[in-house]
Structure 1
Amino acid sequence: MNPRIGAGKTMSGKPVAKRLVFHIGGYDPITSHVTAQRRFVREIARFQRTWSVKAAVDGSHDTVDQIQWNVTTTGPDWLVETDYRLVRWHDVIEAFGRRSIGSRISVGILAFLDFVLAGTLWRYLLSNWRYALFFLYPLVTFGLLIAAAFLIGVFAFKITGSIPIAAGGGLFGFAAVLAGPWRWLHLGDLFDDWIFSREYIRCGNSEIEQRLDRLAAELVVAASNSAADEILVIGHSLGAVLAVDLLDRALKLDPALGRNKIPVTFLSVGSSILKIGLHPKAMRFRSTVERVAKSRAIFWGDYQALIDVLNFYKSRPMAEMGLSTENEATVRVVKLSRMLDDDIYQRIRFNFFRVHCQFVSGNDKRTSYDYFMLTCGPISAKSQTLAPDGAVSMIADDGGLIANAPLSESELPGNPGAAA
């Protein structure tokens, strides 16, 4: 058994007892904010089994901008109270989904052409070809389905020699595409994702901006008055883009954010920051990223995984965007396969969306990345990100803290840049 606190040794550094978390999810029309809350409760049960700890979730409270709940996690010799806030923007996502199919198709194709003609697709290929394939997937799939509908019309013409019947067959095939594969393959949602991304780059989104302004003010007040030991802003997928935007707005309100009282940590997990940042017209966003990165009081950790085609694996975000790398993100490459039991991993490995969501799900095994240990554990998120094995060497088999584990940030090595 590893030595424990109280066994004649002292802990290096002070464990986190209170944490404030702002979580911003990605563009996900399938998982509503209510479903996301249920997933949190379900997945934290896996966290308890894996790390031999206890957790209780209660006190759910809805506001216009977020859903809040309290999480209490305990080990044999520690207790953490987490004020967890899930930022809501599902209303914005739903608004895109309510547009007519004709509008979604036409504007979606325009958005794809924008990214292609602007040279963004080429930049995706240079940065991460897997993400480029993900970009092409909805457009190519839709094109193949339309081609199939056209071939139905051609086939009908060859059989009947009637142009009206051929046209009817083609229209029937097109209607079948919209009634079936368009919905089954979530092509409409993928089109909406790119429509939103183009809009965000070109002109912003007023609803999102107003919400981020209010949350930024709340974040600044919390940084000055909260009893938390750590404020964690975590963005998953496209939510990482909005998280950067949130932190930039908070820094404009308080340039000393994170320096005075409560440390602020930013984690981008399975991030789509480069999805936006590599577009030539995203000058405003790149400036936003640069301002956040230059704020040395805010630690930025970026988690990436090879099997997740929805993130930019093994990339250095600042360098890829042509920005200064003097204070770049600490990149951690993790293996999702090591987080799960083999049978579960084999079952989900070709479900790209489920794999992508592992970044915000519970683990079956102790590894260097664990969403719930980062958001609800006794070790600061920064310390876990900088430690080679995350919290693994800091938590004993029975869930207790290991004596002399480097919990203090001052005892950890400096920013390693890109770390495997």
Structure 2
Amino acid sequence: MSGKPVAKRLVFHIGGYDPITSHVDAQRRFVREIARFQRTWSVKATVDGLHDTADEIRWNVTTTGPDWLVETDYRLVRWHDVIETFGDRSNGSRISVGILTLLDFVLAGTLWRYLQINWRYALFFLYPFVMFGLLMAAAILIGLLAFKITGSIPVAAAGGLFGVAAVLAGPWRWLHLGDLFDDWIFSREYIRFGNSEIEQRLERVATELVAAASNSAADEILVIGHSLGAVLAVDLLDRALKQDPDPGRNQIPVTFLSVGSSILKVGLHPKATRFRATMERVAKSRAIFWGDYQALVDPLNFYKSRPMAEMGLSTENEATVRVVRFSRMLDDHIYRRIRLNFFRLHGQFVSGNDKRASYDYFMLTCGPISAKLQTLAPDGAVPMIADDGGLIASAPLSEGELPSRPGAAA
């Protein structure tokens, strides 16, 4: 075996627009999914030391194989409180601002850019607004039908109001339209105005990251952003670079992974100049390795895209793009059950696998091979881990034995 396996890792994870309401729920989901990781890779894992702060939810993970042990300091950066403030707005406010957001993205040409790069993502953007429009049309039809039957305007108005109330009480919640409206409303506000609460939090977490890069015993610092969390992860790394332009000088490598990313969701908007400048600074940093994981069947990410090129930015040091296939990560019956549930598919980026595959969230965050090397290796950790969970002696564990960093890879 060449190279040195990871023994200690520090992970900062920023999730997508997902209102996790308690630290208990967040850790429970992690523990449930890491159990699948243990079965798939023939390893053992323990999760303990839950600690809840204003900025993060932390716990410790110890994973072991026959000839290795990894201790992971896992930190989930909180922002569900910000998400909840958007959800606490009245439905009238959410609907009116949501329609304004729709017009903003359409008139600015962002929807057209989505269509050019990934039509599935354009449909995802349109889905909540079109669905809401159809439901409102149904409510109006109820009022018209009431008028046709009774000839009474008051009865027709009451019927229409009943239809609207039924929509807000039922499909609005069942179809998660409120959360989807809020997701796009937040994105528009972040693009145009920023979000002071999130920015202050990311500044504090960036200080932790810089301190860890200087003083930590970790072999690797991993910043991983899922969905819209990838946008905030870029923001976090940029703030860390402003505090310390070379966080890896103490030989602790810093890896950034964007998985199921919404970077282009924000970056393609003409007004996102601040974010694009942030993205360019992070991408150009030689202290940070960036890997971007995408999936075809997930309409909530940009499949087979080159983020820097699509935003019109320099591709000199762009992401290493890896395309993953969920069908090769899951048991057949599970994949068939969830393949039309797009939110569940999107969540597979941060869930456990049933099969060994080139992408495995828990192998990247808790495994003995660095996330950078797993991303560079065409088959990830698969050829490096034996059937019994041990390290394979002949596996390439040094960067020099792997292909040079590509701009985009299949």
CA distance in 2, matches of 1:31, 1:128: 32
Is 405-414 or 105-114 further displaced after alignment? 405-414
What does residue 106 of structure 1 align with?
96
Say if 2:261 is the partner of 1:279. no
CA distance in 2, matches of 1:169, 1:130: 36
Per the alignment, residue 367 of structure 1 pairs with 357
Q: Which residue of 2 aligns with 1:160?
A: 150
Structure 1 counterpart of 2:381, which letter?
Answer: A
Structure 2 match to 1:385:
375
Identify which of 26, 30, 42 aligns with 2:32: 42
TM-score (norm 1): 0.96
Output the CA distance in 1 between the equivalents of 2:196 and 2:203. Answer: 10
How far residue 160 of structure 1 moved from its aligned partner, in angstroms, is 1.1
* 2:190 corresponds to which of 184, 195, 200: 200
Q: 2:86 aligns with which of 96, 104, 121?
A: 96
2:135 aligns with 145
Letter of the aligned partner of 2:204 in structure 1? R
The reply on whether 1:337 has 2:336 as its aligned counterpart is no
Q: Which amino acid aligns with 2:292?
A: D
**When the two structures are aligned, how many residues end up with a matched partner?**
410
Q: Distance in 2 between matches of 1:298 and 1:159?
A: 68
1:411 offset after TM fit, Å? 2.4
The counterpart of 1:270, out of the listed 255, 260, 263, is 260
2:223–2:255 CA contact under 8 A, matched in 1:
yes
Q: Which runs of 5+ in 2 are unaligned?
A: none
Q: Does 1:253 align with 2:253?
A: no
Letter in 2 for 1:302: D
- After TM superposition, list the pairs within 5 Å mapping 1:293-372 onto structure 2: 293-372=283-362
Any unmatched runs of 5+ in structure 1? 1-10
1:269 and 1:33 map into 2 onto residues whose CA distance is 22
Percent identity, please: 88
Q: What TM-score comes out, normalization by structure 2 length?
A: 0.99
Q: 2:209 & 2:20 partners in 1: Cα distance?
A: 28
Residue 33 (structure 1) shift: 4.6
Residues 233-264 of structure 1, C-alpha deviations (whole Å, 9 max, x = no match): 00000000000000000000000122332100
Summarize the alignment of residues 396-415 of structure 1 with structure 2, pairs less than 5 Å apart.
396-415=386-405
- Kindly provide the CA deviation profile for residues 171-192 of structure 1, in whole angstroms up to 9, marking residues without a partner as x: 1101111111011111111000
Q: Distance in 2 between matches of 1:406 and 1:36?
A: 35
Deviation at 1:31, TM superposition (A): 6.6
Identify which range, 42-51 or 152-161, moves more after superposition.
152-161
Distance 1:126 1:31, change over 3 A: farther
Is the 8 Å Cα contact of residues 68 and 86 (structure 1) preserved in structure 2? Answer: yes
Shift of 1:163: 1.2
What is the aligned-residue RMSD (CA, Å)? 0.9
Matches within 5 A, 1:81-92: 81-92=71-82
Distance in 1 of aligned mates of 2:67 and 2:45? 14
Deviation digits for residues 136-182 of structure 1 (CA, Å, limit 9, x no counterpart)? 00000000000000111111111111111111111110111111101
Residue 416 of structure 1 deviates from its aligned partner by 1.2
1:233 is aligned to 2:235: no
The separation in 2 between residues aligned to 1:143 and 1:259, in whole angstroms, is: 54
Displacement after TM superposition at 1:30 (Å): 6.0
Write the deviation string for residues 293-346 of structure 1: whole angstroms up to 9, x where unpaired.
000120000000001110001100000000011110000001011100000111
Q: Which amino acid aligns with 2:264?
A: L
| Per-residue CA distance 1:33-78 (angstroms, 9 max, x = gap) | 5322211100100000000000000011111100110000000000
> Is contact 2:23–2:52 with CA below 8 Å preserved after alignment?
no
Q: Give the C-alpha shift of residue 29 in structure 1.
A: 2.6
Distance 2:24 2:310 in 1: 35
Give the aligned partner of residue 172 of structure 2: 182
Kindly indicate whether residue 125 of structure 2 is the aligned counterpart of residue 135 of structure 1. yes
Q: Distance in 2 between matches of 1:283 and 1:259?
A: 30
Deviations 1:55-109 (A, max 9, x none): 0000111111001100000000000000000011010001110111111111111
After TM superposition, which residue ranges in structure 1, 4 or more long, deviate above 6 angstroms? none
